Amino acid sequence: MKETLLIVDDEERILDLISIYLKKENYNVIKAFNGLEAIKIFNNEKIDLIILDVMMPIMDGWDVCKEIRKNSDVPIIMLTAKAEEDDELIGFQLGIDHYVTKPFSPKTLIARVKAIIRRTNSSTSTSDNTKDLNNINGICIDKLCHKVSIDNIEINLSPKEFELLHYLILNKGIVLTREKILDTLWGIDYLGDLRTVDTAIKRLREKIGSKSYLISTIRGVGYRFEVKNEK
Separation CA 118–CA 113 (nearest Å): 8
- Tell me the whole-structure pTM to 2 decimals: 0.60
User: pLDDT (tens digit, 9 = 90+) per residue, 83-105?
Assistant: 555 666 666 677 777 888 888 88
Please give the span between the terminal C-alpha atoms of the chain, in angstroms, as a whole number.
Answer: 40
For the structural domain made of 4-125, what CATH number should be given? 3.40.50.2300
User: pLDDT (tens digit, 9 = 90+) per residue, 45-88?
Assistant: 999 999 999 888 889 898 999 899 888 888 899 888 765 556 66
Q: Where in the chain is the domain with CATH 3.40.50.2300?
A: 4-125
Element (H, E) at 70: none
Edge to edge, what strands does the sheet with 153-155 contain? 139-142, 147-150, 153-155
For the structural domain made of 128-225, what CATH number should be given? 1.10.10.10
Q: Where in the chain is the domain with CATH 1.10.10.10?
A: 128-225
